[in-house]
Copies of this chain bind each other. A is one copy, B any other.
């Protein structure tokens, strides 16, 4: 290749890395030769010689949840502009898999990495530290977290939801959540609900606390169980995400429960259908793509040596819609 353009390999390298330091004529000659041979610089050689790989990594629980998919999407867009490619790893909510994926990425020389949540084995963070790979925790945010977080305070968000319902006069609550095991975000959400209710002397009865798969079906099944239970029926149900809430809403329609007159329902995420369904769902909107973009930007800044230590809070916003109302249906 260098031969065809009749230059040294060093010059070829310069054409791609410091084009200004090469005379235009030579530059064109090299570029022309590259086109002719359909030649592309080899990234492995490049990485080895320069100790820069231009690779970033993202570890998410699963792509099957829209919120993580769009976070990756946002990251990818920002990184691609800077010529950085993205390695994707899914942990399937399993800390061991997350660790494996991180190790694989480290071996591959990722320069920076974004990881959803902070509920990971210490070895994971040790490995990151040892490899001196900057990282960001996404989708979670705590003031006192030892890591750089980009996301929001899950606890505070659910405090806000609970308070919204309390203001509407609700005093008997049920809660339907996705699995909390190994999931600091869900744990924080449940804690937020508990905390807000406790301030008013309220607790969720065990029979009104449901935890299971984050599906419409589980939402339906939970409402049915709650409604048919022996305990006093709740006037409000707080769901861990929109899928569950939509399940509750659909089952309520089937059981002839009037929403919000007899029952208020809240979700989380503000998926597309939340505002379209009838009754429309009160939920919290989170700009997950923005979380991805912020994470990417922060990591790029770190690479550039810019210490943009501004914490990355992407504030969720409560979307009050038809599924919540004054207790007793007064409106």
Contacts and interface: CB of A to CB of B under 8 A. Distances in A.
A145 interface: no
A273 B253 contact: no
A43 B105 CA distance: 9
A41 B103 CA distance: 11
A81 to B, nearest CB: 11
Interface string A47-78: 11000010100000011101001101100110
Given A106-B40, A107-B41, A73 B64 contact: yes
A104 B45 CA distance: 15
Nearest to A107: B40
Interface string A94-113: 00000001011111110000
A87 B90 contact: no
A140 interface: no
Interface size class, chain A: 35 or more
Interface string A129-146: 010000000000000000
Interface in A235-254: 243, 246-247, 250, 253
B76 A70 contact: no
A53 B202 CA distance: 57
Interface string A159-182: 000000000000000000000000
A38 interface: yes
A255 interface: no
A83 interface: yes
9 contacts: A38-B126, A40-B103, A44-B53, A63-B72, A64-B66, A64-B73, A85-B108, A86-B88, A250-B278
